[in-house]
């Protein structure tokens, strides 16, 4: 904890590295490379008041919906919103560190969210989605990672309303070589979070996203055995998104 305290103090004194930026691929796509680690507010309501992350029942966390909390930091939020306002790209791709869409892990009534990703900063997530809508950003795509699993879903204007408009798509990729988890509870989790159309915790690999003026084609590739350097690889799933639709179609 002393190391973390010193690190946070150093960051507050200006020790951060500016690593967020934009990369332009002509008029076809703009890639926004975000930083949701350095400027974030600390996670709230972690079990035992410890530092770090955990799952949280929002009804028992008074600061959960604090509108001032930020994952990107105020300066990066302003920069991103201004970047949206000036975008002329056909595809707008946000590369960031974790899952964007809401994931409620509590079966039945009640809710349980992780406090480390965007779920722990729902007000900041809403500011981002409102910016996408306000600036009429074309074909938003969010790419993420961190959670050692594949998650594929629709970006919702309001995650608390299942009938809310889909304004984009997201692909959260798995790690490459770590051991997998279990899919045992995934059907229940997907049923509670219908904006996600696919998830897998057991297989490891990478994703390939191919952008064209007509569509985005994303292929999730999975290795057979992460312990073998010469492991075989196969397609786990494949999705297409037609330009202008924000609708995922599973091909494989």
Give the pair of three-digit tokens for residue 143: 């790419």
Name the band, by pLDDT with cuts 50, 70 and 90, for residue 133: very high
Question: What's the pLDDT band for 177 if we cut at 50, 70, 90?
Answer: confident
Write down the pLDDT at residue 245.
Answer: 97
Q: Bridge partners of 238?
A: 219
Nearest to 73 by CA among 114, 128, 31, 30: 128
Q: What is the per-residue burial (b if ≥16 Cβ within 10 Å, else e) of 100-118?
A: bbbbbeeeeeebebbbbbb
Question: What pLDDT shows up at residue 11?
Answer: 60
- Least confident residue range of 13-27, 62-76, 158-172: 13-27
182 Cα distance to chain centroid: 20
**Single pTM value for the model:** 0.92
Kindly report which listed range (12-26, 30-44, 79-93) carries the lowest average pLDDT score.
Answer: 12-26
Task: With beta carbons less than 8 A apart as the criterion, state whether 163 and 111 touch.
Answer: no
Stretch 199-228: mean pLDDT, rounded? 96
In the predicted structure, residue 149 carries a pLDDT above the cut 60: yes
Closest-CA residue to 150 (of 176, 129, 115): 176
How far is 141 from 241, CA to CA, in rounded Å?
Answer: 10
Distance CA 85, CA 107 (A): 39
pLDDT of 37 over the 60 cut: yes
E strand spans, 47-186: 55-56, 91-95, 113-114, 140-144, 150-156, 166-172
Read off the DSSP letter of residue 47: G
The answer to whether 123 and 66 are in contact (CB under 8 A) is: yes
Name the pLDDT band for 71 (thresholds 50, 70, 90). Answer: very high
């Amino acid at each position: 904890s002393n190391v973390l305290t010193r690190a946070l103090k150093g960051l507050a004194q200006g020790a951060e590295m500016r690593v967020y930026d934009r990369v332009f691929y002509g008029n076809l796509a703009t890639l926004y490379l975000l930083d949701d680690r350095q400027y974030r507010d600390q996670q709230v309501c972690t079990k035992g008041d410890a530092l770090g992350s955990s799952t949280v029942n929002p009804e028992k966390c008074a600061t959960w919906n604090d509108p001032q909390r930020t994952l990107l930091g105020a300066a990066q939020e302003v920069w991103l919103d201004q970047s949206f306002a000036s975008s002329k790209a056909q595809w707008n791709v946000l590369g960031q560190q974790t899952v964007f869409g809401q994931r409620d892990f509590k079966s039945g009534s009640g809710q349980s969210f992780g406090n480390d990703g965007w779920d722990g900063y729902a007000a900041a997530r809403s500011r981002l989605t409102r910016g996408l809508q306000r600036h009429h950003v074309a074909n938003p795509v969010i790419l993420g990672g961190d959670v050692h699993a594949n998650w594929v879903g629709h970006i919702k204007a309001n995650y608390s309303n299942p009938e809310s408009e889909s304004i984009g798509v997201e692909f959260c990729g798995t790690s490459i070589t770590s051991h997998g988890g279990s899919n045992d509870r995934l059907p229940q989790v997907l049923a509670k979070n219908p904006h996600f159309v696919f998830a897998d915790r057991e297989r490891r690999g990478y994703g390939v996203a191919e952008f064209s003026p007509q569509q985005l084609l994303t292929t999730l590739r999975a290795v057979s055995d992460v312990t073998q350097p010469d492991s075989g690889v196969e397609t786990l799933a494949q999705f297409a998104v037609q330009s202008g639709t924000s609708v995922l179609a599973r091909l494989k």
